[in-house]
Chain A
Amino acid sequence: KAGVTQTPRYLIKTRGQQVTLSCSPISGHRSVSWYQQTPGQGLQFLFEYFSETQRNKGNFPGRFSGRQFSNSRSEMNVSTLELGDSALYLCASSFATGWVTDTQYFGPGTRLTVL
């Protein structure tokens, strides 16, 4: 079974631009979560989608948004990029139906650098 895939793997943007990251979950997984990882803050939860609906959102500004498509693929968008948005963005998928939780499997991440 193929793992979680994320594209692109590396991205360089300048301040003020916007960026869209993509995540394809493991086949059959309907829950997709997004995380930001930085050396200072560690791994932080951004949001989680299940069946095209955002179920929960972490403490990030509105510049960070996402969506999920009917095939469970998800995109994350960051508008008006700031230097502090430079990070590894990880996507994780799980089977999780309803409120039943399940193990999350992480993708390789997208390394975003904002200059």
Chain B
Amino acid sequence: DGGITQSPKYLFRKEGQNVTLSCEQNLNHDAMYWYRQDPGQGLRLIYYSQIVNDFQKGDIAEGYSVSREKKESFPLTVTSAQKNPTAFYLCASSISGNPSYEQYFGPGTRLTVT
């Protein structure tokens, strides 16, 4: 069964703590992405990676960090520097290179920081 898994589905943290969101894919895709979704704002790109050991900042990278040590995995760390971390986080992957290739999305992780 091919797809993207994100865990956990719901995550609760206290303010000031770092937290890492997991994203794994078995689609053999080169490119992976992290988005943040807030009500009424659509999806905003946090980080993306076109190939292992390389990644680029998206539109709202401040307060986040990523790593891409394996093709299948692209974890996102929400650091204590992120001013408003409560949101729905979506991971996606795609075949890289051609803009006609669509992105496949995971089920998302809802992070609540209090």
A, B bound? no
Q: Which residues on A are within 8 Å of B, measured CB to CB?
A: none
